[in-house]
A and B are shown apart, each in its own frame.
Chain A
Amino acid sequence: AQRVTQPEKLLSVFKGAPVELKCNYSYSGSPELFWYVQYSRQRLQLLLRHISRESIKGFTADLNKGETSFHLKKPFAQEEDSAMYYCALQHFTGGGNKLTFGTGTQLKVEL
């Protein structure tokens, strides 16, 4: 069965400090991983897809199959980065693709 683990419920950093939000996954197939962000009381928005290897809002994430990790990183935290971040694993079943989410990490950037 697939599983996504985000070990930190809350991560507090100072503005300008580096950020790393941890995500580990368990999946027998070839993983397709995503990061979603949810700003206060807003809808979830797609932040990153591992397949595209893009950088959005200064965030990057590298898939490490050996460590089964997909950590989200940013070199210098901004106040507007404060939000809830979810790591998600896409898996395909007979009924189509599904996303399994981690429990989320609340990032708080302090001045």
Chain B
Amino acid sequence: DAGITQSPRHKVTETGTPVTLRCHQTENHRYMYWYRQDPGHGLRLIHYSYGVKDTDKGEVSDGYSVSRSKTEDFLLTLESATSSQTSVYFCAISASGADNYGYTFGSGTRLTVV
């Protein structure tokens, strides 16, 4: 398999509740990313990590936080979910900082905020 799994696959939550999405990899890759996919916007980077406890913001980071306490796990938290955060969330991994092999993506988490 691709060596990257996301959980849960689907989630429905209420406005104002906290939500945590998990990305788990077995490739020992240093770099991990969270993207959201929305019609008309393509994929937009939320946050990324370049090592354990090393994270940085992407272009749409407001309302999201991340944590990476070990190489294999990258968590995305919506502190207080809003309807605008209804989306499909993809995690991706990359082996190094400047390779040309692209990313490997997870299967996505479909999140609905009602």
Interface size on B, residues (CB 8 A): 32
Describe A's contact surface by its main secondary structure: strand
Q: Which A residues are CB-close (under 8 A) to B103?
A: 44, 46, 99
Contact of A43 among B2, B40, B102 (CB under 8 A): B2
How far is A104 from B108 in the complex, measured between Cα atoms in Å?
Answer: 17
The answer to whether B102 touches A36, judged by C-beta atoms less than 8 angstroms apart, is yes
Q: Which B residues are CB-close (under 8 A) to A101?
A: 35, 42-44
Bitwise, A22-44 to B at CB < 8 A (1) or not (0) is 00000000001010100000111
Count: A-B pairs, CB below 8 Å: 71
How far is A32 from B96 in the complex, measured between Cα atoms in Å?
Answer: 15
B74 at the interface (CB under 8 A from A): no
Q: Which B residues are CB-close (under 8 A) to A45?
A: 105
Q: Which B residues are CB-close (under 8 A) to A52?
A: 100
The answer to whether B99 touches A97, judged by C-beta atoms less than 8 angstroms apart, is yes
How far is A43 from B102 in the complex, measured between Cα atoms in Å?
Answer: 14
Given contacts A95-B50, A97-B99, contact A43 B106 (CB under 8 A): yes
Q: Pick the 4 closest A-B CB pairs, nearest first.
A: A96-B97, A103-B42, A96-B50, A101-B43
Q: Which residues of B contact A (CB under 8 A)?
A: 2, 30-31, 33, 35, 40-45, 48, 50, 54, 56, 58, 90, 92, 94, 96-108
